[in-house]
Every structure is written in structure tokens, then in C-alpha cells.
Chain A
Amino acid sequence: MDEEDGAWLNFRRIFVLQTMFTEQEQNELSLLIKRYEKPQAALLPVLWRIQEKQGWIDQDGMQEAAKICGVPKSHVLGVVSFYTMFFEKPMGRHHVQVCTNVSCMIRGGEKIYDTMKECLGIGHLERTPDGLFSLEEVECMGACGGAPMIAVGERFFEKVTAEDAAAVVQQIRNTGTVPAPIETVQLPELTNL
């Protein structure tokens, strides 16, 4: 955790009111909880909202989720640490995920991962000093037909080469936004027999 984050946390702990959710969000949450038999079932959705707000789930976030869902904070920590998509430390604004599972691996996923490591200068679950990027070697993301693939945040990039992946990163560096892949159908050329 860097200094800036620590300062913000302290500020919130001392000055900000008990909840991080606005009144409207609290109403939405209470409607959401009603869709389940027990408030505990809203734990994953609540944690998602917290992570969307601050990029990761800190101790205060866990405390808040515990209060909303009526479970001990220790249980929340157990859940947060179980699921790979919840972060217990700050991650980059753009979380780059590279799949190296079988379908991607045999089509060059590992090379893409190495390129990304070099390109970003960080390793698995690390963050660049400027806080712009973090990197993760992920397991199958369900895009085997588009292997090899990378994802930036929620956006999938399929059938990429190492150069494509580096270009995506470069474009984010230049423009600050994730390039939009266009929806298209791309048929590879047939091999002659």
C-alpha cells in the first residue's frame, strides 16, 4: 500500500460518515437484499459495488460489507480471499489479464504474457508505480475460440498477437482509455490442400 492510499484511508476513517454508499445506492442495496432469502446472499454483489467504487476491498470495505450482510468481518475476509477477482490490495486503473490456459497457451498465450511483463515492467498481481496498470496471469476466461486472448478490465481482446497486446497497452498509455474492439466476424484464410 503506498502512502497516498494510507492517507486517504485515515481521512475516511476519521471524517467520513459511516457508509460509503449514497442514499440512492443504499436504497438499491436494500431492494437487492430483498431478492434473496437471507441478507448474506448479497455479499458478493455488495463486495462488487465496493470494489467498483474504490478499485479494491480494504478493511473498511469489509467492515461495511459485514454490517450490510449481517455476517462477521472475518467471514467477509474469508470470502474476499477465496475469489480471485476480489483484490485485497490496490490494483492499477487498467487491470491487464493474460490467459495462459491450454487453448491460449498452445496458440502463444505464454509469449503474450512475457511480452506484457516486459512491456509493463511488472509481474503477476503487481501494479505499475504510476498506478495505471496491473497485470495478472489468469486462468481460462471462456474465450477459447478467440485464443490467445487478453482482457483489460472487463473488455476482452481475442485472437491477439504479442504485438497487438503491446499496442493495446500503448494506446491506453497515450489516450488514457481502453480501445474499443469492433464487433466483427473474422474468418481466417483456408489452407490449400
Chain B
Amino acid sequence: MKIILPDIPNLRDIDVYVKNGGYGATLLKAFSMRPEAVTDEVKKSGLRGRGGAAFPTGLKWTFMPKGSDRKKFLLINGDESEPGSFKDRQIFEFNPHQMIEGILLASYAMQVSHAYVYIRGEYAHWIRMVEKALADAYSRGFVGDRMRETFKPAGEGVPYSVDITVHKGAGAYIVGEESALMNSLEGERGYPRIKPPFPANFGLWGYPTTINNVETIANIPPIMQMGAEAYAKIGEPKHPGTLLLGVSGHVNRPGVYEVPSGTLLTDMIYNYAQGVPGNKKIKLVIPGGSSMPPLRGDSLEGVKMDAESLKAVGSSIGTGGIMVMDEDTDIVKVLQRISKFYWHESCGQCTPCREGTGWLHKILKRINAGEGSKADVELLEDVAKNIEGRTICALGEAAAWPVKFTVQRFPEEFAQKVSNEPHDQVKLNKVHALRAGGLEPVEIHVPLVVRK
């Protein structure tokens, strides 16, 4: 089942999108309901955010003050910078109009006056695609003042129009944090804000604001189209819907796959991504982008890809970026690279994060250079423990978790680096047979490839 990236050629062309039912019955149906009824529908669907925290979307929308005359804003987070995550790019490229339609529905539900789509600057190529889509939608009267003419209110609906603006970022991982995103849009440095106040009360320029991920918002049109009950039946009941999972690293067919939530991790690796090159075994899998706790190769059996199931095995769905590493990977070196990333991206507001991320990187560098000791491994855990929970935003956890959990789950790898004594080998997974044809094949979305 593919509801976000359906197999329709040229869907980013507005004519094709309209021909396939876009900007039509679903919007008219929603615009003939009371705005709160749209929120209720999303609440009933059980949709959870796809940006990392998996927070219930409908519930988030209800935090917005109702019936007040204050301006309200919707901010779409397309800053996608988590290493291992590259799913929103597929929406920009293959189905931008569904995102725009989702923005219209969400804006109506919360009676927002202006919606902003913040896209990372590195995606300049894809920003132009979204801008083109938006310009087309404006010229057809689907967005902006002319909406009131195009979608005449019926039933219990209220006359409504919203403007949408695409905003280009300039390269900063931290801006993906929602309050830093607001600061960045306001023309500030991307510093996260202390919460409370929460964005629903004091967001962009002090007005009530809701921040949703691109994939989350692209899920709204299918919900309104098929109804909350039908949507809630897709995949795992506690985290329903389809997920865009990006598989990268040591797999034969990396790419973004749209699958129902609760799909087995081993199916993602061995069926969709077609296994590991050279038929090697797997040492480590990060299931949700580089800041999430890694899983050992021998603990992959039966793990399902949804928020609750991954929580139960001590990891997290994050942004759904699955990174696979084979038996020959140097885990400590990988961890050093991850630490370097968070060190580079720390905004510098909070001392534990600013200093701690640098320490983590330096200690790991020392261990990798063969100059580490057992005490260094303990020091890593200690530093990580002192960053976690002591910072304004979650970058502290993002930097501390990979270190903390890798040290805990791969002690053999560290033992090998810091001593000459005999040590255990990391247990690897059981290699699965490829099951091509066993599940419905999913198209790979890799847009730009150099000709060989």
C-alpha cells in the first residue's frame, strides 16, 4: 500500500495530480466540515509525527488556542538533516502537491493565516521543485486569496484562505529542532529556545504556531480521503499508517521504501533492500537515523519498524533512516564519525553539549589511534551521562545516546581497541534468504545517478 509516494508517473505535475483526484473532493469534503471536526478526524486516525518524536499529530493540533482572533502559523519542517534520513526529499520530488494539500487541510483545521515550509539549503534543487509546484497551485487558485472562490464553503464549513511560503535554510543540523527552526525563520541564529513557553502558545513572532514534519503533513490528505477508521487499520494499531523508511549503508539496494508500519526490520534489509553485499553478516543496525540507539546484529530477529516495537527493544523509530553495517565495519570508528558530526553541529548555547560533544570526539579519536585505555571507555559513558538531560534541546541526547548505547551494546569492540588481552567477538545476525517476490516490490527512488 502506497499512499504517500504512489506509483503514478509525473505526479509532481499539477495536471497529473489533479487528474488523480488532487485538490478536489477531499478538500471540498474537509472544507464543508467545522475546522475542529478535521482535527478530530486526524486525532481519530492515530497519526503520529514522522519527524522523530512520534508525537500524536491530532493532539498537537488541539494545543493551538481555539476561537481567538490572534494570528496563527503553521511551520512545516523540511530541514531533514539527520544522517541516514532522506525521505522528505522523495516527497518534494515525487509528490509535492500532496504536501501542499496537507498544508491546506492542516491550516484549515487550525485556522492558520500563513504556512511556511522550511527546507534545508542543501536541497536547492528540490526547493525549486516545491516552488514550482506551489506557483502552479497559486495560479490555479488552490492556494492564497482565490481559495475562497475555488472552494466555496458548504455545510458547516467556514470561508477560508491561507498563504504558503517556501523558506530556504542555510546549512545547520540544529535548525531541525522545532524552536531553533522558528528562530532561523525569524532571521536569527538557529538557537533552540527554552520550553515552556511551547510553540502552540508562543511560536513564530510570539504567535501560536504548530510545527509538523513534511511526511506527517503529507499523510493528512489520505486520512481525510479514506477516513480515520480506514487509516487507523493500516499497519500497527499504535502507530498506524505507512512509513517512508530510508535504507542506507551496506545493502544491495539502498533507497526509500514506503511500507506499512510494523514491517519487520529483517524484511526491510533482506527483502526490500535485497540483503548485504557479498552476503556478509550484519554487525550493527541503526534503525532511525544516527542519533538513535544502535541494535546489535544478533538482536534483529522479529524487530518491527514502528515507534512502540522499537521502544520495546531499546531503540527508537526516529526519522526512519535505517543504517546497516556489515561484519567488517569498525564500530568505534563509525562512532567517532557520529561524534564528530554532533560536535560540529552543537549550537554552543549549553556548556554540557558544547564541551561534552568535543570531549566525546577527542576520546574516541584517542581510542581509535590505539592510545586509549579501559578508563577512557568509562570516561565516554560518564561524559555522555553528563550531557544527557542537561541541555535546552534534544541535541544533547542525540549526541549522548549513540555513545552510551554503543559502549553498552558493543563492549567487545571497545575491548579490542583498548587492550591486547583476548576478547569476545561481537555476535552477528543470522543471514536471511532473499525473499524477492515474497512481498510486493517497491520502486526504488534514486533520482540522480552518474552514468557509468
Contact = CB atoms under 8 A, between A and B. Distances in A.
A127 to B, nearest CB: 18
A193 interface: yes
B85 to A, nearest CB: 7
Contacts of A159: 446, 449-450
A129 interface: no
A43 B187 contact: yes
Interface string A144-165: 1111000100111111100010
Contacts of A186: 446, 449
A78 B189 contact: yes
A48 B248 CA distance: 31
Interface string B212-247: 000000000000000000000000000000000011
Contact of A157 (B338, B345, B434, B450): B450
A30 to B, nearest CB: 15
B81 A140 contact: yes
Given A147-B248, A186-B449, A140 B83 contact: yes
A145 B170 contact: no
Contact of B125 (A40, A155, A193): A155
Interface string B195-209: 000000000110100
B51 interface: no
Given A139-B345, A154-B124, A144 B187 contact: no
B171 to A, nearest CB: 4
A17 interface: no
Contacts, number: 194
For B124, B190, B443, which residue has the most chain A Cβ atoms within 10 angstroms? B124
Interface string A175-193: 0000001111111101101
Nearest to B80: A142
Nearest to A40: B187
Which bucket holds chain B's interface residue count? 35 or more
Contact of A193 (B279, B329, B444): B279
Contacts of B185: 41, 44
A85 B122 contact: yes
A135 interface: no
A145 B436 contact: no
B290 A193 contact: no
Contact of B433 (A82, A101, A143, A193): A193
Contacts of B325: 106
Contact of A106 (B207, B247, B250, B341): B250
Interface in B111-135: 114, 120-125
A183 to B, nearest CB: 6
Interface string A98-111: 00111101110000
B449 A105 contact: no
Interface string A59-93: 00000000001010000001100111110000000
Contacts of A144: 83-86, 246, 248-249, 254, 321, 323
A157 B448 contact: yes
Contacts of B254: 144-147
Nearest to B184: A44
A82 B190 contact: yes
Given A144-B323, A145-B246, A190-B434, A100 B337 contact: yes
A102 B323 contact: yes
B186 A106 contact: no
28 contacts: A37-B204, A40-B187, A43-B187, A44-B170, A44-B184, A45-B167, A48-B170, A82-B190, A83-B190, A84-B170, A101-B83, A106-B250, A138-B122, A139-B344, A139-B345, A140-B290, A142-B89, A143-B89, A156-B448, A158-B450, A168-B450, A181-B449, A186-B449, A188-B253, A190-B436, A191-B252, A191-B279, A193-B434
In the A-B complex, list the 6 residue pairs whose CB atoms are closest, starting with the nearest. Answer: A43-B187, A85-B171, A83-B170, A144-B248, A40-B187, A84-B171
